[in-house]
Amino acid sequence: MNENELESMRNSFKTVYNKRKSILNDPQVKNLQEKVIDIRKDSIDNNEKLIETLKESFKKNDIDYAFADNAEEARNIICDVIKSEINEDLKDDTSNYSFNDNNNFNDNDFNDDNSFNDKNSIVVAKSKSNTLGEIAASKFLQSKGINVIETDLGDRILQLKGKDNKPTHPTGPASHLNVEEISKIVSKGLNIDVACDPKAIMEVVKEDILNKVSEADIGLSGANAVACEDGSLVFVHNEGNISLVSLMKTHIIVAGIEKLVRTIEDAISIAKLETIYATGSKVTSYINIVSGPSKTADIEKKLLKNMYGAEKVFVIILDNGRLEAIESITECLYCIGCGSCIVTCPVYNAIGNEFGFNNYLGGRGVAMSKFIQDTETSISSGLYKCTLCGLCKINCPVTISTSDIIENIRAETLKKGLYPEKHGKFKDNIKNKGSPY
């Protein structure tokens, strides 16, 4: 990130911080916070039982599901579902569709190509999701010749940006870009002259998204929470785009096992607290609940499927290192995805999104990267950049002790002889000279 982007990011963070400051001490918010902490602890402590409950609930609700051990499995399941739905539509005639079946996908080597191939009829309408970012779902599908359209405004701006398009906040991915930069990105990306005005930019991007999404039969999203006893998925958004995505013929959802909670009421409580800490508003514009495919019973109370919404809902429950993380850094799985920790993090405000791992930004992302990838990844993500100041815990709605977790992982890496080269020089100097210098 350059200095202009960092300055724009800091201004955006300041706006959020000031907006929410007045409501965080509200007794209702405090009570909600205590409630959500208990919900998250219970959910993680009883994760295995919740998974079994969820299987039964999904079956009752006619929701298809699969479990993925890692990112590769999750990506392949997504692709298989898409292929299956297209084959069903065309009765096994896919001559009008183009799939690239090359399995040599490497996220690190893949270059973004955000152009829209009008000759390719396969279009996926995608909503914002850190979990989908974790498994590089968009890049993978694009490598298969599938058009992926980001429906969230911030994510679509980054998609049009093409290169260096890593998000800077979980709910405000383009927080580091000012209106002048966004105007240039959209003008270039859509080959149209867009005025340097937020409203004008929004209207142009919205029209483009709606035009492209009109060709889509597949919706792809994450979920803010999964209510296991009810077999329901809960989505939080302000733009209304998840409503569009959920109305596609097939709605595919990818959610980490840490998203599981007991009830819809628990899920709504998490959604409300996330909104407060992420945006400074007490409630979001939309909270969608999906408990199965579209249906109606308005004719003689006889159940009919496939009304306005999805004909198929397919949920992928993702592990990808989470079960191991539960055993080692349990608190990290309490996270509700509000991004509050990075808003006040001195390191993140100094260097931006290079401190973190993929879509998991800041110290919590560094910690999780050890289990999603490996120890070396946690070091390259910023393990030794953290100051251990503890501001992340103070500002975390569920009081995750990220700095303590970072310190413990450092101790583990030290035993393995893995640490920055300069730190090694300091250690040798202290040993030989009695001083780090």
C-alpha 384 chain-centroid distance: 24
Distance CA 175, CA 4 (A): 12
Residue 207 has pLDDT above 50, yes or no: yes
CA distance 350 to 357: 16
Q: What is the mean pLDDT of residues 25-51?
A: 96
Q: What is the pLDDT of residues 76-87, one digit of tens each?
A: 999 999 998 877
Q: Tell me what pLDDT residue 100 has.
A: 64
Q: Which DSSP symbol is given to 259?
A: G
Q: Which residue in this structure is represented by tokens 């992420």?
A: 278
Enumerate domains of the chain plus CATH numbers.
3-320 (3.40.50.10420), 339-433 (no CATH)
Residue-wise pLDDT tens digits, 284-328: 999 999 999 999 988 988 888 888 989 999 999 999 999 999 999
DSSP 48-79: HHHHHHHHHHHHHTT-EEEEESSHHHHHHHHH
**Could you give the C-alpha distances from 190 to 41, 125, 165, 209, in angstroms and in order?**
46, 18, 16, 11
How many CA atoms lie less than 13 Å away from 358 in the CB half-sphere?
20
**How far from chain centre, in Å, is Cα 162?**
18
Per-residue confidence (pLDDT) for residue 99, from 0 to 100: 58
- What pLDDT sits at residue 88? 67
3-state DSSP assignment of residue 10: helix
Between residues 122 and 104, the one the model is more confident about: 122
pLDDT digits (tens, 9 = 90+) for 108-135: 544 454 555 655 578 999 999 999 999 9
Rg (CA), the chain: 22
Short-list 190, 84, 78, 200, CA closest to 140 = 78
pLDDT for 417 equals 83
DSSP string over 334-393:
G--S--HHHHS-HHHHHHGGGSEETTEEHHHHHHHHHHHT-HHHHHHTTTTT-----HHH
The whole-model pTM stands at: 0.91
Mean pLDDT of the chain: 90
Burial class (CB in 10 A: 0-12, 13-18, 19+), 426: middle
Tell me if 215 sits within 8 A of 221, measured CB to CB. Answer: no
